[in-house]
Amino acid sequence: MRRSEINAVLRDGDAFIKAHGFALPPFARLSPHDMQVRKDELRGVTGARLGWDVTDYGLGDFHETGLFLFTLRNGRAEDLSRGSGMLYAEKLLISKENQLSPMHKHLVKAEDIINRGGARLVVELFASDPEGNIDENADVTVPCDGVETTVKAGGKVVLLPGESITLMPGVWHAFWAEGGNTLIGEVSTVNDDETDNYFRDPVARFSDIEEDEEPVHLLVSDYDTWLS
């Protein structure tokens, strides 16, 4: 993605979040220069990969296949392994109308996907077979706001504002908005986007960036390069 395109997505996303009455934390407002100057005191932010995130999944068409994300809080893998400490994460996402977040699963992360406002959110589901691949035949049962819901392989659950779905590790899922853009909340166990995303098709979780203008904000994928 071009940096100018990412900057535009960040501005639009920020405005969409504000329009739904949600205030981002103070570190969301830091410029790249601010983060470079304060990098030592911001290690809790950068180490947990908190902040802005935009991806086109390496496919080059953000509006067709892409996602805006902002990670608000996140524990660490070692917390999970010892079973105590900060075991949770929280994100905001924006799915644009008909914009696909492609089919994938997690092996560690369990997550609630919550429609926080806007249009409908459609979630397509598959179970895993014994080898961990997509099971084209098995039904899928997931909790939706505490009520078990069963769909056939490739079935879709439609979430209206305020509704949610719980996805356990191994459940394959893709999602998109219908009827407009949707603000999504994600509450999960510790999140590791570098190692715990398994996609059905060959895509990339993070985008390569063409630097055609200065960044408005650093993405989480920028931290290692810009703050080393």
Reported confidence tier of residue 83, pLDDT bands at 50, 70, 90: very high
> The domain containing residue 192 runs over which residues?
3-226
Q: Contact 89/191 with Cβ under 8 angstroms? A: yes
Q: Is 226 helix (H, G, I), strand (E, B) or coil?
A: helix
pLDDT digits (tens, 9 = 90+) for 89-130: 999 999 999 999 999 999 999 999 999 999 999 999 999 999
In DSSP terms, 147 is beta-bridged to 144
Q: How far is CA 35 from CA 7, 26, 83, 164, 224, in A?
A: 17, 12, 32, 34, 12
Q: Angle at the Cα of 122 (from 116 to 125), degrees rounded to 5?
A: 120
User: What average pLDDT does this structure show over 176-203?
Assistant: 97
Distance CA(115)–CA(162), nearest Å, equals: 5
pLDDT beyond 90 at 228: no
Number of domains in the chain: 1
CATH number reported for the structural domain that contains residue 76 in this entry: 2.60.120.10
Neighbours of 160 (CB within 10 A): 10
Distance CA(183)–CA(191), nearest Å, equals: 19
Q: Give residue for tokens 């908005």.
A: 177
Q: What's the pTM value of the predicted model, to 2 decimals?
A: 0.97
* b/e 39-77 (16+ beta carbons within 10 angstroms → b): eeebeebbebbbbbbbbbbebeebeebbbbbbbbebbee
Least confident residue range of 24-33, 78-87, 107-116, 199-208: 78-87
Distance CA(161)–CA(118), nearest Å, equals: 7
Q: Angle at the Cα of 110 (from 19 to 106), degrees rounded to 5?
A: 100
Distance CA(67)–CA(122), nearest Å, equals: 14
